[in-house]
Structure 1
Amino acid sequence: MSRLLALALALLPMTASADSHACSEGSAQIRPVVSEKVSADPTRQRAFAGVVAAAHSADLAFQTIGRVARVAVDPGDRVSEGDVLASLDRVDLQEDLASARAALGSAKAEAAYARQSHERVRILAERGIAPIAQLERAQAARDTAEARAEAASADLARAREALGHGTLRAPNDGIVLSTAIEAGTVVAAGTPILTLADLRGREAVIDVPGEFLQVLPPDARFDVVIHAEDATSHPARLRLVEPMLGDNIRTRRLRLTITEGAEDFRIGSLVSATLARLDLPVMTLPLTALSGPAGAPSVWRVAPEDRRLARVPVETGRRLADRIEITRGLAVGDEIVVKGTACLGEGQTVGPMVAP
């Protein structure tokens, strides 16, 4: 929006009030005022800085516990599906496998012995030689040994699976955004090792004032430009408004999906995003433009033909930071005084517009 300076040329009449007396004291001087032409879509004039992020990213982790032997990639590396990203110490995993095999062999031997013992006691009990209590103890020992053998078999299966999961591979083509673990670190199953971004899709992440959301439609369209010379704009659409993190945070984070030319954007690049359009026109003015009582606000409009001032009643709507929505009383292109309104009067003439 254009903000312009004008010079107040006419003198104000003397009144009995202190404010008017102060105004009349300086009435012989030319007083500057600041004016602004009303725009139907002032949000288009504001660009929001942000960065490019991947549309999809994931934290990758091992599915087993172990010591990290090697991290094969660095942040910024591009990888293909199936590439090795990191690996655990296979010596430790093989030792765990050998231990699980030995434990299973021992458990099977104990189970076999317990079954034989139970069979002998059962035969003696049928002949009336062994008491029933001895038979019950033998049966319990057999069941316990067989359960231990099953548990050892499961441990062996997990050790074999862990050995197979000792290598972390890329699930898809992507770019490594960050690594969280160094070689030699002992990690548990599920501990994030690195973050991998999908090559498909890009988003612009920007922060906007909370009041900006009041004029933002759910399907808002933006124009995104890379911070570079001769950069062209690319269309984007609003995908997500992230939740507010706290009462003291006055900005909201928007995620914009870049719909065309996403391959031109590198992750981490600085961009600017501007609202492409609004479905309904929104006219706003600075709060300093309003005068009169709170229930009946008005503004000073400059007539384009003779530069004379006229007080115009207006109706206001939503407050947008330091601006206020004008719902009735003005038209697009009207020149309104936004600063220096305290000592103005009806019919007063202001000078020509000059650059600030």
Structure 2
Amino acid sequence: MTPKRLTATALAALLALTAPPLRAAEETAAVPQAARPVVTEIVAAEATRLRSFPGVIKAAVETSLAFQTSGRIATRPAELGDVVKAGDVLATLDQITLAEDVAAAQAALKAAQAAADLAAQSLTRVEELNRRGVASTAQLEAAIAERDATAASARAAEADLTSAEDAERYGTLRAPADGVVITVDADPGTTVSSGTSVLTLATEAGREAVIDVPTEVLTILPKDARFTIAPRSPGGAAIPGRLRLIEPVADSSTRSHRLRITILGDAPGLRLGSLVSASLDSPATPVLTLPRRAILDAEGSPRVWRIGAGRKAEPVAVTLGQSLGERVIITTGLQAGDEVLIRGIHSVETGQTLGERIEE
């Protein structure tokens, strides 16, 4: 066999060995690669995204009640949760001690008046003796000073008696209005001073829902924000509410603000302490937000990747508004229902086909 023939035979064998792998590679290249799944978010109004906040029903007016005088609490008929009417006795001070104080003040007043009367009579005698030249001017001045001092002591004793009588009269604590006792701060036997809270009364002036929201939520709340209040108990009907007050001081631990929402209309099923859920009603112009990490070139020409027809990536220029924590308000460029890429935004090209949506 000639060398040329050997070379041709070896070449044929080599082609035979390499042909199947080449065909396999061509077949593999012909199979389309599946588009990778992506993490996206469906743009929704912020009021919808926030959904609802847990809360509790409280009275619109809560009054701390205290005695106007000091003393020892003898009785406290009102207990936590009691429903009371205006004028009902809620607590009393020790009447025996108060009566003794009045008696002691009366005795002190009588003694002071007797001393004042005696000093006045003594002054009359000294004045006559001084007129006759028997009593000196110094004696007259001393008698006048004694008269004035005893008269002042009598006036002080009279004031003490008035104070003791007032204390006796103020020894009964009554309900100023119809309501419910929501806290009890002092028990029978406790000595309290004037103004020390004995209990707190929630009056019938109205009901409101109290919720706590993150600080960033305040940005989207209008002054007259409307809410829907839904009882947590089964079968309860939802009722409307209107924002009444945003407490200015945030909670030091949670950094949340307390909102007080006035309940509009009758709500017989909502009692004090009832658990509710408060959801923010969608405003006429919805507030749209996205995570800040979904924004490309946020400092220059901000844009996002919107998933268009055929699940193809398309860049969309947006206008940014105020920040809401880790999110930012989108004022123009998007509308509710758009699907926006929020992860892997730097590894996507225009027109790239993306896979199915994955939620975070």
TM-score (norm. length: structure 2): 0.86
- Aligned to 1:280, what secondary structure does the other structure show? coil
Instruction: Work out whether residues 33 and 341 of structure 1, in 8 Å CA contact, stay in contact via their aligned partners in 2.
Output: no
CA distance in 1, matches of 2:277, 2:349: 42
Counterparts of residues 1-40 of structure 1 (less than 5 Å)? 30-40=35-45
Q: Which residue of 1 aligns with 2:87?
A: 82
Matches within 5 A, 1:158-237: 158-237=163-242
What is the aligned partner in structure 2 of residue 23 from structure 1? none
The match for 2:349 is 345
Computed over aligned residues only, the root mean square deviation of the Cα atoms, in angstroms, reads 2.0
Q: % of aligned pairs identical?
A: 47
**Equivalent residues of 1:241, 1:254 under 8 A apart:** yes
The answer to whether structure 1 residue 243 and structure 2 residue 264 are counterparts is no
- Residue 159 of structure 2 aligns with which residue? 154
In structure 2, do the counterparts of structure 1 residues 33 and 355 end up closer, same or farther at CA, with 3 Å as the change threshold?
closer
Question: Is the Cα contact below 8 Å between 1:44 and 1:275 reproduced in 2?
Answer: no
- Please name the residue that 1:296 is paired with: 301
Deviation at 1:329, TM superposition (A): 1.7
Who is 1:287 aligned against?
292
1:308 equivalent to 2:312? Answer yes
Contact 2:311 2:355 in 1 (8 A): yes
Are 1:116 and 2:121 matched, yes or no?
yes
Q: Partner of 1:306: helix, strand, or coil?
A: helix
Higher helix fraction: Structure 1 or Structure 2?
2
Partner Cα distance (1:136, 1:326) in 2: 91
Match of 1:134 in 2: 139
User: Which segment drifts farther, 175-184 or 311-320?
Assistant: 311-320
- Secondary structure (helix, strand or coil) at the match of 1:244 reads coil
CA distance in 1, matches of 2:316, 2:213: 32
Q: TM-score, normalised by structure 1?
A: 0.87
Aligned length: 329
Measured in 1, the distance between the counterparts of 2:270 and 2:46 equals: 28
CA drift at 1:264: 2.4
Q: Is 207-216 or 338-347 further displaced after alignment?
A: 338-347
> Can you give the 5+ residue segments of structure 2 that lack an aligned partner in the other structure?
1-31
5+ residue gaps, structure 1, are 1-26
The aligned counterpart of 1:11 is: none
2:37–2:356 Cα contact (<8 Å) kept: no
- Aligned-residue offset at 1:85: 0.6
String of CA shifts for 1:294-338, please: whole Å, max 9, x gaps: 3122211111x3221111122211111221111222233222122
> What amino acid maps onto 1:314 in structure 2?
V
Of the three residues 320, 325, 328, the one matched with 1:321 is: 325
User: Which residue is 1:24 aligned to?
Assistant: none
Larger mean CA deviation between 334-343 and 188-197 belongs to: 334-343
In structure 2, the CA distance between the partners of 1:184 and 1:293, relative to structure 1 (3 Å rule), is closer
